Structure 1
Amino acid sequence: ASDSGSPPLSNNVTVKVFILDQNDNVPVILYPVSANGSAEGVEEIPRNVNAGHLVTKVRAYDADIGYNGWLLFSLQEVSDHSLFSLDRYTGQIRTLRSFTETDEAQHKLVILVKDNGNVSLSATATVIVKVVEPKEAFAASDVTNAVKDEEENNVTFYLIITLGSVSVLFIISIIVLIVMQCSKSTDYSSKYLQDMNYDGTLCHSIQYRSGDKRYMLVGPRMSIGSTLAPGSNRNTLVIPDRQNHSVSVLLYGMLDRPALS
């Protein structure tokens, strides 16, 4: 400000303006909220919980700022004050003690939520606490565990089938190999005995094998170059084969004939 003198004189002043919030917003309940929009909810807890168990948490919001936006929670109505407690600042509802057989199965709690304005505005939320048996409380988790166990059993079953199939194929392969080896051995023995039939040497011959020795039953004719084995009582003829192995030949019907050289 200045005057009209000569010279003019002036002075300054500083003015600070504070804008105060007006508490004109009611707290809004965020949880619990029912399907129809009312602040109501149902919570189920097992009967065997201990003291300090968290039942639920009431959530609210206030659009005012500063002190007017600070919210406080309190129990306006409760069926049993010895069972539940409510945190004044967080809105958490917890059990104070364990449940007994004489306690009711259902409890109603009305929570008052108010702001911190000079003229407080408030809202209420209703929580219905149902105390159920442990089997009912954990029914959903039991179903989930049952499904998981069934999936694990199916995996184990398929694994057993796979291992069994591999084992059966392995056993079949071993059996086939053994049969093939036996067939080859039989074919070799038959071929070896057939090679001993020299043309015109023996007639009516019957061949067989016993261990490492091979025997031939022959008729009355013998080939030149064959000899009777010493000490054989003239009924065993030894014939050299193509592979330098001796073959014993049993003679029948020739006991009275002299040995040939």
Structure 2
Amino acid sequence: MCYINQDLPFLLTPSLQNNMYSLVTKQLLDREQQSQYNVVIVAKDAGEPSLSSEKTITIDVSDVNDNSPEFSHSPYTFYITENNNPGAAIFSVTARDNDEGSNAVISYMISRDRGENLLTSFLNVNSENGDILALKSFDFEMLKTFQFQVVATDSGAPSLSTNVTVNVFILDQNDNAPVILYPLSSNGSAEGVEEIPRNVNAGHLVTKVRAYDADIGYNGWLLFSLQELTDHSLFALDRYTGQIRTLRSFTETDEAEHKLVILVKDNGNVSLSATATVIVKLVEPKEAFAASDVKSAAKVDEDDNVTFYLMITLGSVSVLFLISIIVLIAMQCSRSTDYISKYLQETNYDGTLCHSIQYRSGDKRYMLVGPRMSIGSTIVPGSHANTLVLPDRRRASEEL
């Protein structure tokens, strides 16, 4: 008698010959769970006392390619800083295969679908280790995020593969200096001239320096400061809004012209800046009003042009509306004529319009309404068709 004295996924089955046994599996084997078994077979006779012996058989489970590659993350999310070096690795993806040998050798590639993601043409992957290389430098102001897929394929036969989605977010760098929008002179330099009356009070708004930064967040947060000023007691600058206001009223001893140099600086780690120059001229009130009138006249001209075009548009719409009403009335009249000719025509009708005849009978007045009759037509006595009974207003007034 032969048997296995362990709980293993194997059985001993006797053959047709005496003392011959076959070692067979009793369930599926998975190399990834256990790759080797030590089977102890006991052979025992039936004598008294019985004698026995043991034999250990080592069984190695060979691998088949039944496992696909698995990525360490799904999906991947990476953050890279703009202005990266072209050709350098920016991040890496990793996959593993539970098989062994060639069945576990993985190669990587980027999925490139035609017409779907042109950005993948600027990316490359190391097929052996999964490093992703960027062939161009990214600009946050042009591109903030993109997505693509990486495919991992093993070397088994047949090969198995898995793809993973990679989300890339580009981080901003302080690579844009502030740009002055106002003041801006005709030659493109950030310089402007402002004229204000000499009799303005403290707190008067002289002008506002406008600027923007293409960066975002702290890199695009702008601060304004006075870098150069002829008289610090006259003007103040709001560091957050860029507004320039007077600190006090002007006196006769104050100069007629003042130069202010404003520094606009962003809040990046390495801050970038730009400067604007404002020339403030003090003029007499009449001159200031005249300059104001010129500006107002220019604005009125602009408003008049807008009003002229608006009137043309409204006039065109009104004409189209009137034409539509006339067409509808003509169509309605045409339908009414057809209706009368169809339902009111008689043998004695001469084609003229309807008319009415009033007559009196006793205490009542009657109105006969009908088509105009030709010569020879007669009224049938006693017929009340198309006859209206009218109240006798004279009788009513006499009774009152």
| Greater helix share, structure number | 1
Bigger RCO of structures 1 and 2 (CA < 8 A, at least 6 apart): 1
Which of the pair has more CA radius of gyration?
1
Q: Which has the higher strand share?
A: 2
